[in-house]
Structure formats: structure tokens, C-alpha cells
Amino acid sequence: MIKRLISIVISLGILIILYSQIDRVGLVEIFQNCDRQWMVISLGMVIPITMITAWRLQQLMPQGTSLRFTEANRLILAASVLNMILPSKMGDIVKAYFMQQRGHLKGSLSLSLVVFEKTCDLLSLLLWCVLGLIVYPEKDLLFWTMTIGVSLGLIAGVLLLGYRQLADSFFLFCRKMASKKMGEKLKSLQISWGEMHDYFWSDKGQLLKISATSIFIWFLHLLQIWFFILALNAWTPFWVNLALSPLAILAGLLPLTFAGVGTRDTALVLLYQPYFDATTAAALGLLCTSRYFLPALGGLPFLGQYLTLARQGSKSNFFRH
């Protein structure tokens, strides 16, 4: 709770500094004069993105198990609510717990499934970022550094996903460096990672389908942000957006602020500076926050039933299964 309050304070502090530097009256005017057709299209993309993500969750289920499409959507929307209030996208981990409590999977397999799902998401985001940075027209030393850093992150992620022994060595090293409490969590994650590796690499066709779907989902995410720019009557070449918007999203994933608010907004202002002013970038930041807020709003009606399930079981049992 204290950490959450600290993250909220940090977000508010960053926003106060950021909005003290922009034209707040101009910000309102930007939304008043926005292209309403593009605004509806861009905000409406939340629906197909959520539905395709739910379909992917269905495809991740092992043979002999089933997950209805409506249930998959409810799980994703409920996790979106928790992602708004829990640090480091922990709502997705809780989603695995909900899946176990609903009887869809045993605890360890549900956790490994979600770990694989989020790993595919991160690697897909890094892939689009690398592609965008490669074709970015005006790379200075900072952008070359980011290109190398993101590329190394992508390569490391693929290697950890592809080589079980390398992943085990990585987890063992991290456990030695971590505290006892964190070491226990890393041990659970290592077990789930190994189970995930054995399960998904046993079916190369399934692995390819899930990977391709993940790449397409993140293409839609980045396309949505480009549509936001069009809705604000601004302009950035699409391939430039492929480089810049993933960097802003990655900044928002840092476990410093509340749901990435503040760090993501600041990154957007700095990264898009060559293409439009800070006020427009701040408006883009608000729209990017809506990408998380709208699914969370849609998940509120379903969260109660899942929290009721959570009271019927023990979270510690989930990680021991």
C-alpha cells in the first residue's frame, strides 16, 4: 500500500511539473478542435484489440481444457482493472490465479501460461521498436544507444525463451543476488518458466501461431497510437511512430509511477518534440492513458466475482501448485 501511494505521489509530481510547462488552455482547445471521426476510430480500437487478445488466450489453453471467448474477455478486462492499481502489471499474474480458481487450469500451468503470454507481448513490443528505430531517419548518438539497447533486450528475451539451460542459469544468478523474499518469488517464476518452455516448445505450430498473433496485436496497439495523432490533427510518419511510441510505452512500464502515468507522458513530450509541440504531446499522453483506463472501466463489472473467488482460496496455495 505504501509503495502504491509513493507511485501515485511520483506520478502527480511529474504531471505537475509537466503541465506547468505547457499551455493548458491550448490543451483544451486541441481536444475541442480534434478530428472526431479519427477520435472515435482510435478509441474504438480498444474493442478489437481486447477481443483478439482474448482469442489468443483461448489458443493458449492446453488440449483437453477450454475457455469460452466471453470468459477470456472478462478475465482480460478484470486484469486491466488490477493493472491500474497493482505495480508492474501484476494484474496479469492475478489473472492466472483467477483462471486456477475458476477450474480452467492448475495453478502452476495457469501461471506459466500468463508468463508466456506477457513474454510474447514484451518481445513483440521490442521487435516493433527495433524495426522502427532501424528505419528512423534522424538517429543521433542517443537513438543509436537506444537502438542497441532495445536490440540487446530483444535478443536476450528470445534466448531466454528458446534455451531452457540459459534461462535456468539466469534465474539462479538473479536468486543469488536477490533478497530471500524476492528469491522465493523468482524460484516460483523459474518453475513456471520451465513448465512454460516444455509445454509451448513441444508444439512448434502453436508457438508460431501465438507469436504471430502477439506481433499483430502490438501492431494494432501502435497503429492505435498513430490514429490518436491523426485525431489530434498532428502528423508523424507511421514508421517514425513505430520507433517512438514503443519507447514511451517502455518508459511507462518502469515500476516508478501509477500505471505509467507521468513517465509515459514525459517520454511522449520529449520523443515527439521534432514533430509537434509539447501541448499536443501532452494530449497524446492523455489518450495513451485511455488505452489502459477504458479496458479497466469495462472490467469493473466483472472484478467483483473474481475477487469473491479470491477470498475462497489462498494465494500461497496457487504458487505452490
What values do phi and psi take at 261, rounded to 5? -70, 130
Average pLDDT of the segment spanning 297-308 = 82
Cell numbers placing 317: 496455495
Number of domains composing the chain = 1
The parent domain of residue 135 ranges over 2-18+36-67+118-295
Asked if residue 251 has pLDDT above 70, the reply is: yes
pLDDT at 141: 87
Please answer whether residues 94 and 74 qualify as being in contact, where contact means their C-beta atoms are separated by less than 8 angstroms. Answer: no
Please answer whether residues 285 and 265 qualify as being in contact, where contact means their C-beta atoms are separated by less than 8 angstroms. Answer: yes
Cell numbers placing 132: 522502427
pLDDT at 318: 45
**Domain membership flag for residue 57:** yes
**Domain membership flag for residue 291:** yes
pTM: 0.89
Residues 129-168 have pLDDT tens digits of: 999 999 888 778 888 999 999 999 999 999 988 888 898 8
| Sign of the CA dihedral with 214 first, then 220, 223, and 224 last | negative
pLDDT at 320: 46
**Domain membership flag for residue 31:** no
Asked if residue 106 has pLDDT above 70, the reply is: no
Asked if residue 85 has pLDDT above 90, the reply is: no
Average pLDDT of the segment spanning 180-205 = 80
- Band of residue 107 on the pLDDT scale cut at 50, 70, 90: low
Please answer whether residues 113 and 60 qualify as being in contact, where contact means their C-beta atoms are separated by less than 8 angstroms. Answer: yes
The angle at the Cα of 118, spanning 8 to 48, to the nearest 5 degrees, equals 90
**Domain membership flag for residue 257:** yes
**Domain membership flag for residue 153:** yes
SS3 21: coil
- Band of residue 316 on the pLDDT scale cut at 50, 70, 90: very low
**Domain membership flag for residue 81:** no
Report d(CA 57, CA 92) in Å as an integer.
12
Give Dmax (Cα) for the chain: 57
Residues 32-56 have pLDDT tens digits of: 999 999 999 999 999 999 999 999 9
Q: What is the mean pLDDT of the chain?
A: 86
Asked if residue 301 has pLDDT above 90, the reply is: no
- Band of residue 104 on the pLDDT scale cut at 50, 70, 90: low
Listed range (194-203, 264-273, 282-291) with the worst mean pLDDT: 194-203
Length of the chain measured in residues: 321
Alpha helices in the chain (DSSP H): 2-19, 24-32, 36-44, 46-60, 69-85, 90-101, 107-135, 141-162, 164-177, 180-200, 204-231, 238-252, 263-271, 278-311, 315-320
**Domain membership flag for residue 228:** yes
**Domain membership flag for residue 188:** yes
Asked if residue 218 has pLDDT above 90, the reply is: yes
pLDDT at 319: 45
